[in-house]
A and B are shown apart, each in its own frame.
Chain A
Amino acid sequence: MSLLSVRDLTVSIGATQPVGEVSFDIARGETFALVGESGCGKSMTALALMRLLPNAARIAGGAIRFGGDDLLVRSEAEMRTVRGGKIGMIFQEPATSLNPVLTVGAQIEEALRLHAGGDALAKVVELLAAVGIPDPERRAGEYPFQMSGGMKQRVMIAMALAGEPELLIADEPTTALDVTIQAQVLDLLHELKTQRGMALLLITHDLGVVARMADRVGVMRDGRLVEVAARADFFRAPAHPYSRALFDALPENLDPPEQKSAPAGRQALLEVRDLRVHFPIRRGLLQRAVAQVKAVDGIELALAAGRTLALVGESGCGKTTAGKAILGLLDKTEGEVALDGAPLTGLVPDRMQMVFQDPFGSLDPRMRVGEIVAEGNRSVDIAGLLEHVGLDAGMAERYPHEFSGGQRQRIAIARALAVNPALLICDEPTSALDVSVQAQVLRLLADLQARLDLAYLFITHNIAVVDYLAHEVAVMYLGRIVERGTTGEVLRSPRHPYTQALLAAVPKLHGEPGEKLLVPGDPPSPANPPSGCHFHPRCPHTTTRCREAYPGAAAISDSHFVACHFPS
């Protein structure tokens, strides 16, 4: 008999139905992944299982049976023994999901007292150790803000485990985390699940995560469950057209752009030499700068017209700061940015433009699309430009809030193109988009490059996107470039241990569950970087030399450079 059995579950908010007639089962010890794009109702389904829906939403029909027990007829008080006791839950944002003014120990203890009892403090330490938090005695007395994102998610997991639940619901548990940390947390979840014989309901948008974790898969779309299948079957031959569309939209499955093999070896359009951006840390009586956060600490880049250079790295590595400093939005501390060989001192609006990450924050809500597009160049042909990026000319009279994320990103691209720049700095332009929309925007970018001979400096953390679009790649770690080369060189034969770890941490569609690949620990703070090679505390090959000296760039080929003492 299955542990959880959901039949025709329907959730309504007013007249709308975010979840409609969803039915699935989860067996004991099984991992069931619920996949879908944003707004498909997967999180709402999870909250409905716990009966924790927001005030406006209510369960309009169906049945939820847990271990043979109908959860929908239980009283609120009985439901509380289920929450945390029988079913644990962790959320997407570890940063906000913990109470900021209580120590993590107190928060775990609270869950223990509700569902277990016994020697609470010893158990707290035990749980923290179980989720892989080093020095658990000390950490139990700390507040959430003193921990990194990955650590906070581990604490969340420890808290959910306190009641020894039979089912753990993980709602996008790694979406807010970097890819190396994601790998750690996914491994931890898999390990705990196997150890404790717990069932896992994993909610995610990432097919790679599904491939890595799930036993069975459910695909949701517009509140409906359109396909349920075993993992092997699902990845071999997805049955539903929507599932197939999801696979086809993945960057690794897109047809490569025509221009991809095009002009190498042209003269550099953009040259960045020894770029540094430091922010002072002010302390003490007179607020003197006692130290520097070296957000960007001496990077070298070169990019030719019509080509794409991807700047890759995890959050906090300084890639966005570097982009803004190159554009001139931020003052550089040192170094030189040259365009067509001429050093720049400020913004050059007609040559270099930027496309930002957040499609909702990058358009002024009080301006018409036409005004937005023409902001940099008032004599531009608005209609022509909008059609150029795949929008209707008639949309010029409308306001941004009427558009979807993908359309907004097209508007932002049109705005940047209005001034006919030679170089676009794209700061994670697709990371806030669903995978199908991401595919369209990527195709548009590739198409524009071919037609307009544009150069892209493409800032991203998404390796698959890099593989699709970029000619060259530079990998950043803690403000410095650790490896750069052509896309083939860096992605196919990475030489730096960090690049290797980064690539290995990306969940693969055809991987096996529970595959082991790890970089331990969290990235250090740029305010206080480790001595010698920045990566040495997490590197598997560390020697004394690594601890003492930062490695210079070693050339592997004409185009491939690695900053490592022992390029493997």
Chain B
Amino acid sequence: MLAYLIRRLLYALPILIGVNVITFALFFVVNTPDDMARMQLGVKRVTPEAIEKWKAERGYDKPLFWNASAQGAKKLSDTIFFAKSVRMFALDFGRADDGRDIAREIGLRMGPSLAVAVPVFVLGLFAAISFALLLVYFRATYLDFAGVVLCVAMMSISGLFYIIGGQWLVSKVWHLVPISGYAEGLSAAKFVILPVIVSVLAGIGSSARWYRTIFLEEYTRDYVRTARAKGLAERFVLFRHVLRNALIPILTGAVVVIPTLFMGSLLIEAFFGIPGLGSYTIDAINAQDFAVVRAMVFIGSALYIVGLLLTDISYTLADPRIRLQ
């Protein structure tokens, strides 16, 4: 078990390195720092001096991989690759264009992101599983059919409309909660409640429908027939046998996103003015702040890899076939 986890961890390392190399290639090889500078300073009226200054301010004035002019180990370390990419492994992300330390900013913004993402995750999972259970309990009836139609209709609506519709109805027409914004502590609730409801609604269609198919597939298994042959009532067949088996893929599948909850949601945070990492990323994209985007890509990947690891662990915990072998 421990050996297995260590092996998974070791396996994660090359992936993280791969991500790092891809990001580096994307940001510095596809376009040269000169291109970036020219783009940010305006393509037409830019002087070579201005470009040099822009690069020097951001540390982009070094060679990419090999600094021939430096001494000793600095030949390797005094390069863009080392300064911008390798250092990310030590959680050193450098500074944003506005001069603030990115790592510090990330620490500050995690809270608001989690305040929205965690309730969305928990409630969303609960709502989708409950809805799917309801449909499966009444399977092959009109209720099931109507439920599936509702699911398909709901998943055919763009998330943008859920947000816009929610804001318009709840905040503008009913004046129940503020349309956007955020506050620290308990008073955050009134800002968080709408984005949470909107996100859960936007996601429930596709996930409930998916869970329904998992449940139904589980229903075709032989052990269900055995349970019925015992004389078990249908609701016990569902809750004791089918649910228990189906929850293994559902829950372990959900585990992978838990770490990435820290990243927040780009769309929700932008619309509702939540000062989390999602809106940080969006602002960086709009301001073309390369350092921030690069940092977010790296963190996102690292968290996803942690998620994969957690998935493995949760599988070994949830499934006796794996736990005991």
Contact = CB atoms under 8 A, between A and B. Distances in A.
Within 8 Å by CB, do A and B touch in the complex? yes
Nearest to B233: A80
Given A99-B241, A146-B324, A284-B3, A52 B225 contact: yes
Interface of B: 3, 6-7, 10, 140, 221-223, 225-233, 240-241, 244-245, 248, 319-321, 324
A85 B231 contact: yes
A98 B232 contact: no
Contacts of A80: 231-233
A89 interface: yes
A74 B240 CA distance: 25
Contacts of A160: 229
B231 A114 contact: yes
A115 interface: yes
Interface residues of A, number: 38
Contacts of B231: 80-85, 111, 114-115, 163
A98 B223 CA distance: 5
A96 B319 contact: no
Contact of B244 (A77, A82, A102): A102
A55 interface: yes
Interface of A: 50, 52, 55, 77, 80-85, 88-89, 91, 93, 96-102, 110-111, 114-115, 143, 145-146, 156, 159-160, 162-163, 283-287
Contacts of A287: 7
A273 B240 CA distance: 54
Nearest to B230: A84
A55 B229 CA distance: 15
B244 A101 contact: yes
A419 to B, nearest CB: 41
25 contacts: A50-B229, A52-B225, A81-B231, A83-B229, A89-B229, A91-B222, A91-B226, A96-B223, A98-B223, A99-B227, A99-B241, A100-B223, A101-B244, A101-B320, A102-B240, A102-B241, A110-B230, A115-B231, A145-B320, A145-B321, A146-B324, A156-B226, A163-B230, A163-B231, A285-B6
Contacts of A159: 226, 230
A55 B139 CA distance: 11
Contacts of A284: 3
Given A52-B225, A91-B225, A114-B231, 8 more contacts: A81-B231, A84-B232, A100-B245, A100-B320, A111-B231, A284-B3, A285-B3, A287-B7
Given A84-B229, A97-B226, A110 B7 contact: no
A156 B231 CA distance: 14
Contacts of A146: 324
Contacts of B319: 101
Given A93-B222, A99-B223, A145-B321, A114 B3 contact: no
Contacts of B223: 96-100
- Which A-B residue pairs are the 6 nearest by beta carbons? A84-B231, A83-B231, A96-B222, A84-B230, A80-B231, A99-B223
Contact of A101 (B225, B233, B248): B248
B240 A110 contact: yes
A93 B227 CA distance: 14
Contacts of B229: 50, 52, 83-84, 88-89, 160
A79 to B, nearest CB: 8
